[in-house]
Amino acid sequence: MAYERLDEALKTLNRRQLLELDTCARCALCTDLCPVYAESKNPLHAPGVRSSRILSLVNKRLSLWARLLGPRPLPEGELEELVESTYHCTLCGRCMETCPFGLETHELWLNVRSLLNLLNQTPPRIKMLGEMLEENGNPYGLDADMRLDWADYTGLEEAPVKDRAEVAYFVGCTTAFKAVNQEIAYSIASLLNELNVDWTLLGEEEWCCGSPYLLAGDREGAREAAERNVEALKARGVKTVITGCAGCFRVMRWEYPKLLGGPLPFRVIHAVEYFSEHITSGDLKPEPLDARVAYHDPCELGRLGGVIEEPRIILKALTTNPVELPENGLEGRCCGGGGLLQAVDDELRLSIVDARLRQASELGVEILTSACPSCKLTLSDGVRERSYNLEVLDLMELLARQMGL
């Protein structure tokens, strides 16, 4: 262990975060609501225990006593336990929303991942993602020229890549490359065509939004991705960027200004925000379904993104029988698809999604919708794995379907 590097990495924790660690360590008020702990029952995965592990490193190396009496070495396994704790987290932010002291744990856990990245302690499978991102601009290791293949596979007639447009549709890697999600892209494109919007795709110039970089603790990689995408969008004179991916949305709307050090020259909105306006104004009139349909709040869109009402406006227009799941909105229960957990412990991810699917199933939900390709992927995996009798769709897919598109 190179202690100089450890000390430098620990110094990246900011003032508020040190204060938060002191407040959080060994408290258990949020533990029961942590989706990872709820399934694993491993105290190491509890947020308060994670904080106490980080605090222990800080106190051993950087406290006043460490400065006066000399820093203490780390006992064997201490750093490995912190890695396990840090990556057994979906970064859903439930602990943050539950904490009576309002600790911004989501940002704290991201910073701990950066710290572990600096120490070269990122788990191997997540490091591999980084290599694929470097090479191909997406975390799936697929060639950039395959970014528009979804349009062919889904039979979309008009998928414009223009030099200039008012609106850009930022598809996102998980939507463009994962077969289960390609209908989401088709639906959003079809709805934009239906509304005669002057819109464009970025095509091969679209790059990963930067979210996986942040989740892997590589802030510099995320900044470079942000710069690249913003340049491509600026060059087209885009005024509004629409995305159907909750991860892309959160990173572009809330992280890009921080990464790039200033406001963006365009607004970033999620597709549910855009199309809910058109439903309210009467531009879109979907045929309501007679089925029990529920909406699962993606963490990055609801709790971490601030978009809670708009998907419900769409849901009410799509069904005569909307169902509200327990643990919704700001208190939404994570499906398990976040934080790159799949790369570290896929069994645990499937246990987490099973808990959510059980809630939906007990309410007799026939169609479970969401507004995030990672949620759709995870919910679909869960349905297939445990044979639930419900259909998983993105809200945009259902909207397009009920519009006859």
Partner 1 sequence: MTLNAYPALYIFSVGVLPYITVIVFIVGVIVRSMKWLSAPRGSSTPLSLTAAIRQIILDVILFRKIYRHDKLTWLLIFLFHISAGGIIFGHMRGFKLWSAELFTPLGEGFKNFLVETLPIYMGYLFIATQLLLLLRRLSLEGRKLLSHPNDYAALILLLATSIAGQGMRITPPEAVDTTYTVSFIPRLVVLHLEKIPSVPWFLIHVILTQLFFMYIPYSKLIHIYTGVITAALYGSRRSEYGL
Q: List residues binding partner 1 (CB under 8 A).
A: 11-20, 22-23, 25-29, 31-33, 37, 41, 43, 46, 48-49, 52, 58, 62-64, 96-104, 254, 258, 305-306, 308, 330-331
Instruction: Tell me the closest approach of the beta carbon of residue 379 to partner 1, in angstroms.
Output: 24
User: Shortest approach of partner 1 to residue 97 CB, angstroms?
Assistant: 7
Which has the closest alpha carbon to 92: 28, 13, 24, 36? 36
- The alpha carbon dihedral of 21, 22, 25, 30 has a sign of negative
Is the Cβ of residue 33 or residue 214 nearer to partner 1 in the bound state?
Answer: 33
Q: Alpha-carbon dihedral of residues 179, 149, 402, 303, nearest 10 degrees?
A: 60
Element holding 53 (H helix, E strand): helix 47-62
Minimum distance between the CB of residue 24 and partner 1, rounded to whole angstroms?
A: 9
Q: What is the DSSP letter of 75?
A: P
Q: Which is nearer to partner 1, 103 or 248 (CB)?
A: 103
Strand 289-295 with 167-170, pairing: unpaired
* 171-197 burial: b if 16+ Cβ within 10 Å, else e: bbbbbbbbebbbbbbbbbbbbbbeeeb
CB of 25 vs partner 1, minimal distance in Å:
6
CA 127 to CA 150: how far, in whole Å? 27
Q: How far is the CB of 325 from partner 1 (least distance, A)?
A: 16
Nearer to partner 1, 81 or 149 (CB): 81
CB of 2 to partner 1, least distance (A): 21
Nearer to partner 1, 12 or 320 (CB): 12
**Residue number with CB closer to partner 1 (31 or 321):** 31
Residue 29 or 180 having the CB closest to partner 1: 29
* Angle, helix 15-24 to helix 47-62, in steps of 10 degrees: 120
CA–CA gap between residue 167 and residue 189 (Å, rounded): 11
